[in-house]
Amino acid sequence: MNGSVRGKVVVLTGASSGIGRVAAQMFARKGATVALAARDGIALEHVAELCRKLGAEAVAIPTDVREEAQVVALRDAVVARFGRIDVWVNDAAVYMMGPLERTPSEQVRALLDTNVMGVVHGAKAAIEQFRLQGDRGTLINVGSVAGKSPYAQAAAYCASKHAVHALTSALRQELVGTRIDACVVAPATVDTPLFDHASNYSGRTIKAMPPIYRPERVAAAIVRCAEHPRREVLVGMAPRVMSLMGLLVPWIWERLQPKMVASSHLGKERAPDTTGNFATPTGPHADRGGWKDGRKDGARALPEPDMTPQLT
């Protein structure tokens, strides 16, 4: 698919917060029809209403991407309502920090269920539909700099994003000769509530590690990829520099990176172990996390937006 997304049907997972929430509104402004998926139905409907106010047709379909049956049901519901799917964006993800030896194995498994199997379920559902549409459609998986250059205290998360990059690369090879595109968009640190939702076994608070990019920049890359598919899009200079350092001087990078994580990704305050939003979706549900605007270690997250239905 090349050209405008106006009139196209776009499915986005992880649409209730952060990058997915911003991308949904950006697709809506460009005239796309958006089908939004996430676990929290109330937060999801709020995003759908924001998209409708922008003039787009939008539907909220609560979905847990860990469950393949729910992802298939999402796909089937969208096709039943709109007749096709043009773009599928796999954005749902969870985050976790802490030394691997302190991280419960069940939490690692839960992270992989969302970040890897959620992408597998979405990719399979999307490609099956694209095949029925004459081998036509665009799959966009949201990767990370962590999938290009891993860092200390986030081994499970880095492994999951490496898997997303590898999966997308393998899919491109399987789709040679079709008009189905498989793309990956890889940002560095993004100013979203991801770190407020994180599972944490580091013993310290988590803060966003500079350089920090606004979610609008990543969402714009996703939309551009939908309009003009590219195999891999690195958002910002940081993923390029970090990938290059890891490739050219890994022995230096592996000594520097733990110090960078300790000083700029972990806060000074102590923090109890937490499972984050792995089992149950939690707030805040917002475009941004406030880190780019000067939020400090230990500061409260941005308040949850008012999602009370408004009577007219």
The position carrying tokens 């003039």 is 55
pLDDT computed for residue 297 by the predictor:
61
Q: What is the pLDDT of residue 309?
A: 41
Instruction: Please determine, for residue 210, whether its predicted confidence score (pLDDT) is greater than 80.
Output: yes
Question: Residue 249: its pLDDT value, please?
Answer: 87
Give the model's pLDDT for residue 77. Answer: 98
- The domain tally of the chain equals 1
pLDDT of residue 13: 98
The set of catalytic residues is 157
285, part of any domain:
no
| Among candidate residues 287, 223, 230, 232, the one with its CA nearest the CA of residue 87 | 223
Look at the block and give the residue holding tokens 């089992």. Answer: 279
For residue 3, the one-letter residue type is G
Give the whole-angstrom CA distance, residue 90 versus residue 69: 16
Q: What is the pLDDT averaged over residues 198-223?
A: 96
pLDDT digits (tens, 9 = 90+) for 42-64: 999 999 999 999 999 999 999 99
On whether residue 294 sits in a domain, the answer given is no
The reported pTM is 0.94
- Beta-strand (E) ranges in the chain? 9-13, 33-37, 58-60, 87-90, 96-97, 136-142, 179-186, 189-190, 199-200, 204-206, 212-213, 232-234, 266-270
Q: Is residue 174 part of a domain?
A: yes
Give residue 205's pLDDT: 96
With 70 as the cut, is the pLDDT of residue 164 above it? Answer: yes
176 part of a folded domain = yes
Quote the pLDDT of residue 311.
36
Residue 202 CA: distances (Å) to CA of 109, 181, 263, 307:
18, 39, 13, 33
pLDDT for res 235:
94
Percent of the chain with pLDDT over 90: 85
Taking the CA of residue 78 as centre, how many other CA atoms within 13 Å lie in the half-sphere pointing to its CB?
A: 33
Residues 244-269 pLDDT 10s: 887 788 888 889 889 999 999 999 99
Task: List the beta bridge partners of residue 144.
Answer: none
**CATH number for position 58:** 3.40.50.720
What distance in Å separates the CA atoms of residue 48 and residue 233, rounded to the nearest whole number? 27
Is 220 a member of any domain? yes
Domain-located, residue 304: no
User: Hey, what amino acid is at 304?
Assistant: E
Domain membership of residue 84 (yes or no) is: yes
Which residue range(s) make up the domain with 152? 9-270
Q: CB of 191 within 8 A of CB of 289?
A: yes
- Give residue 92's pLDDT: 98
Residue 258 maps to a domain: yes
